[in-house]
């Protein structure tokens, strides 16, 4: 087999979760991109709005990109598409709902019409250059999600996408077992599968368990109900709408992304709500409280979301009141637990009753748990297995599960973002390692911030700053007036006031006593002084002006 006969499997950049937000498959010089999602910043990534994969490899090889296939419409799979499409131009393939959500996203950024979007149906087979891509339906917490069977002369690779084996999904459309079995019969060379819940024993409950839990909430709620979830959790919107119909409440979507996504999903038939049930927020706020359910974002405790603002009493249009029932229909993204807990506490403090995952089945995961992961492995019976969609510890656990169902350890590759794998001659081997990093997006700027800047921020944040301006006479190098001292984030104003004379004295001594006019040496001396006085190390900046 020539050099060209190998399939290169590339988990592109990302933040911890391997191959989650973007992957590439490369064969015969052509590149197939799968997904283009964003990530949310970790707690120590100060000031960052969101993060996108580092896809410099695609930019460098833009002309070789054959197509972009999107598995489903969640942010972590479509959120970077506007960035990707400004850097490379390639046709996008997505199922109807996914395409609709991409269009909403592009339109909001003034990019409507810039992209070539192709609508596909789960089950379609696409011929994209050297790649034969067989799409198959998977259950997830959004309708119209797909996995991919990718055939090249190097073999057949199955890419699960985010999936679960829900036997009773809300849309009555289970994961396509038949197609998976058919792949298996044909012989699967590599399976790449979702590892998110590899540490959860058993089976993930069906989405359908949420119905009865919502019924109980609707039955008991003495007043208004406010349900918070991700704007892309279309399946959850459907369930809340169904409960609203059953219990005779009117439903309003709140917030731009909720309103837009609900609109597109209804228009395309993925969300069925009688017109009589939907009202505007304005109308909802004038109805008796017992007849209303509002659906909004903020289930992750984001301070600027509607739930975040309600919890701190800073929402504009309405407030949380005693008698309200707030339902957080989601699971905290790792790192958000503290923010979510605080939000729940604040809502309780405002008199609301709060219902969340820990106390009622108002959320279930959209990802397969370990028994489902074993089922997928047994259904597909791949020769090689590559756990993806998870942090390293989850991939390692998924690898343990694969060994339990009989995949030899040497046929399992746990890799990180940027590590290229090659499938050729029936062997899967490690190839070179690319950067595989990620890029911070902050305001309008993409990639101007790096970990060095982040470290400076952390340093600023750890003990604050002390700014000292030292005006010297340019001839005598003596102080023209007292040094000016400003502190921020260091100590309380009263304590700072007590320290300022000491700082001034120190600087004066150095300048007049020591004849010192070096900014760095003065800063060092002030740092020592402050460490001695407070046992803390603020960033000290000294600016000498000579005139």
As annotated, the active-site residues are 194, 367
Whether the CB-CB separation of 189 and 5 falls below 8 Å is answered with no
- CA dihedral for 364, 365, 368, 371, sign (positive or negative): negative
Q: Which of 340, 323, 326 is nearest to 296 (CA)?
A: 326
Q: How far does CA 80 lie from the centroid of its chain?
A: 10
Given 60, 484, 497, 518, the residue binding its own copies (CB under 8 A): 484
Strand 30-34 with 23-27, pairing: antiparallel
Given 4, 321, 337, 509, the residue binding its own copies (CB under 8 A): 337
Given 452, 476, 513, 520, the residue binding its own copies (CB under 8 A): 452
Q: What is the DSSP letter of 333?
A: P
Q: Which residue, 95 or 336, has its beta carbon nearer to its own copies?
A: 336
Given 388, 391, 413, 418, the residue binding its own copies (CB under 8 A): 391
Given 431, 465, 502, 529, the residue binding its own copies (CB under 8 A): 465
Q: Which residue, 42 or 216, has its beta carbon nearer to its own copies?
A: 42
Given 469, 504, 516, 529, the residue binding its own copies (CB under 8 A): 469
Q: Which two tokens stand for residue 64?
A: 């070789």
Supply the DSSP string of 146-191, one letter for each residue: EEEEEEETTEEEEE--S-B--SS-TTS----HHHHHHHHHH--SEE
Quote the CA–CA distance of 157 and 25 in Å, as a whole number. 10
- Is 518 a binding residue for its own copies by CB under 8 A? The answer is no
- Report the run of H or E that residue 283 belongs to, with start and end: helix 281-286
- Is 349 a binding residue for its own copies by CB under 8 A? The answer is yes
Quote the CA–CA distance of 476 and 111 in Å, as a whole number. 62
- Is 344 a binding residue for its own copies by CB under 8 A? The answer is yes
Given 87, 272, 495, 518, the residue binding its own copies (CB under 8 A): 495
- Is 444 a binding residue for its own copies by CB under 8 A? The answer is yes
Q: What is the closest distance, in whole angstroms, from the C-beta atom of residue 129 to its own copies in the complex?
A: 35
Stretch that binds its own copies, among 92-100, 111-119, 316-324, 442-450 (CB under 8 A): 442-450
- Is 76 a binding residue for its own copies by CB under 8 A? The answer is no
Residue 31's contacts (CB-CB under 8 Å, 6 or more residues apart) are: 24, 25, 58, 61, 64, 65, 66
Under rule CB under 8 A, which residues in 97-116 are in contact with its own copies? none
- Report the run of H or E that residue 547 belongs to, with start and end: none
Given 93, 163, 385, 490, the residue binding its own copies (CB under 8 A): 490
Stretch that binds its own copies, among 41-49, 139-147, 166-174, 287-295 (CB under 8 A): 41-49
- Report the run of H or E that residue 234 belongs to, with start and end: helix 234-246
- Is 411 a binding residue for its own copies by CB under 8 A? The answer is no
- Is 46 a binding residue for its own copies by CB under 8 A? The answer is yes
Stretch that binds its own copies, among 164-172, 186-194, 220-228, 468-476 (CB under 8 A): 468-476
Quote the CA–CA distance of 162 and 365 in Å, as a whole number. 11
Strand 427-433 with 419-424, pairing: antiparallel
Specify the 3-state DSSP secondary structure of 520: helix
- Is 4 a binding residue for its own copies by CB under 8 A? The answer is no
- Is 476 a binding residue for its own copies by CB under 8 A? The answer is no
Alpha-carbon distances, residue 462 vs 366, 456, 459 (angstroms): 38, 10, 5
Q: Which residue, 34 or 344, has its beta carbon nearer to its own copies?
A: 344
Specify the 3-state DSSP secondary structure of 267: helix
Q: What is the closest distance, in whole angstroms, from the C-beta atom of residue 513 to its own copies in the complex?
A: 22
Stretch that binds its own copies, among 25-33, 172-180, 229-237, 451-459 (CB under 8 A): 451-459
Given 181, 430, 461, 521, the residue binding its own copies (CB under 8 A): 461
Residues in the chain: 547
Q: What angle do CA 433, 438, 442 make, to 5 degrees?
A: 165
Q: What is the closest distance, in whole angstroms, from the C-beta atom of residue 207 to its own copies in the complex?
A: 21
Given 259, 405, 454, 529, the residue binding its own copies (CB under 8 A): 454
Rounded to a whole number of angstroms, the CA Rg of the chain reads 28
Buried b (16+ CB within 10 A) or exposed e, 180-205: beebbeeebbbbbbbbbbbbbeebbb
- Is 321 a binding residue for its own copies by CB under 8 A? The answer is no
- Is 354 a binding residue for its own copies by CB under 8 A? The answer is yes
Q: Which of 193, 311, 317 is nearest to 253 (CA)?
A: 317
- Is 497 a binding residue for its own copies by CB under 8 A? The answer is no
Stretch that binds its own copies, among 120-128, 354-362, 379-387, 417-425 (CB under 8 A): 354-362
- First and final CA of the chain: distance in angstroms? 76
- Per CB under 8 A, residues contacting its own copies are 16, 42-43, 46-47, 199, 334-335, 337-338, 341-342, 344-345, 348-349, 354, 356, 358-359, 391-393, 396-397, 400, 416, 442-445, 448-450, 452-454, 456-465, 467, 469, 471, 473, 480, 484, 486, 488-493, 495, 534-536, 539, 541, 543, 545-547
């Amino acid at each position: 087999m020539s050099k060209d006969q190998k399939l290169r499997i590339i988990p592109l950049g990302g933040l911890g979760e391997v191959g989650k937000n973007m992957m590439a498959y490369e064969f015969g010089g052509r590149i197939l991109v799968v997904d283009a999602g964003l990530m949310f910043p970790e707690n120590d990534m100060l000031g960052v709005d969101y993060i996108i994969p580092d896809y410099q490899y695609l930019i460098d090889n833009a002309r070789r990109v054959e197509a972009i296939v999107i598995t489903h419409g969640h942010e972590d799979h479509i959120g970077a598409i506007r960035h990707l499409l400004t850097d490379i131009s390639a046709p996008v393939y997505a199922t109807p709902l996914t395409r609709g959500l991409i269009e909403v996203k592009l339109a909001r950024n003034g990019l409507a019409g810039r992209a070539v979007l192709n609508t596909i149906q789960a089950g379609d087979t696409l011929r994209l250059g050297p790649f034969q891509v067989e799409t198959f339906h998977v259950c997830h917490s959004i309708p119209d999600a797909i996995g991919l069977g990718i055939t090249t002369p190097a073999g057949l690779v199955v890419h699960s996408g985010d999936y679960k084996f829900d036997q009773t999904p809300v849309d009555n459309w289970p994961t396509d077992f038949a197609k998976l079995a058919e792949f298996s019969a044909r012989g699967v060379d590599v399976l790449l599968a979702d590892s998110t819940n590899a540490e959860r024993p058993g089976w993930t409950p069906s989405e359908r368990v949420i119905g009865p839990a919502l019924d109980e909430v609707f039955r008991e709620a003495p007043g208004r109900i406010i349900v918070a979830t991700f704007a892309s959790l279309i399946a959850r919107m459907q369930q809340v709408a169904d409960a609203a119909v059953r219990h005779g409440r009117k439903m309003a979507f709140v917030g731009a992304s909720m309103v837009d996504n609900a609109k597109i999903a209804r228009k395309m038939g993925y969300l069925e709500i009688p017109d009589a049930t939907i009202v505007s927020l304005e109308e909802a706020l004038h109805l008796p409280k017992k007849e209303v359910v509002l659906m909004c974002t903020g289930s992750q405790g984001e301070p600027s979301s509607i739930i975040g603002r309600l919890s701190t009493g800073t929402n504009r249009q309405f407030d949380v009141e005693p008698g309200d029932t707030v339902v957080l229909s989601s699971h905290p993204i790792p790192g958000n637990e503290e923010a979510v807990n605080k939000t729940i506490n604040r809502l309780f403090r405002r008199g609301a009753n709060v219902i969340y995952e820990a106390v009622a089945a108002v959320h279930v995961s959209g990802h397969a748990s370990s028994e489902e992961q074993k089922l997928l492995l047994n259904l597909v019976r791949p020769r090689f297995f590559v756990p993806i969609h998870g942090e390293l510890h989850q991939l390692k656990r998924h690898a343990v599960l694969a060994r339990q169902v009989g995949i030899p350890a040497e046929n399992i590759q746990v890799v990180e973002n940027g590590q290229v794998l090659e499938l050729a001659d029936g062997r899967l081997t490690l190839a070179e390692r690319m950067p595989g990093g990620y890029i911070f997006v902050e305001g309008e700027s993409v990639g101007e911030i790096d970990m060095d800047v982040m470290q400076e921020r952390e340093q600023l944040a750890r003990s604050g700053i002390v700014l000292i301006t030292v005006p010297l006479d340019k001839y005598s190098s003596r102080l023209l007036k007292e040094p000016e001292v400003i502190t921020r984030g260091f100590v309380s104003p009263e304590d700072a006031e007590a320290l300022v004379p000491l700082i001034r004295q120190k600087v004066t001594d150095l300048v007049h006593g020591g004849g010192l006019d070096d900014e760095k040496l003065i800063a060092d001396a002030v740092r020592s002084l402050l460490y001695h006085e407070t046992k803390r190390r603020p960033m000290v900046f000294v600016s000498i002006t000579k005139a």
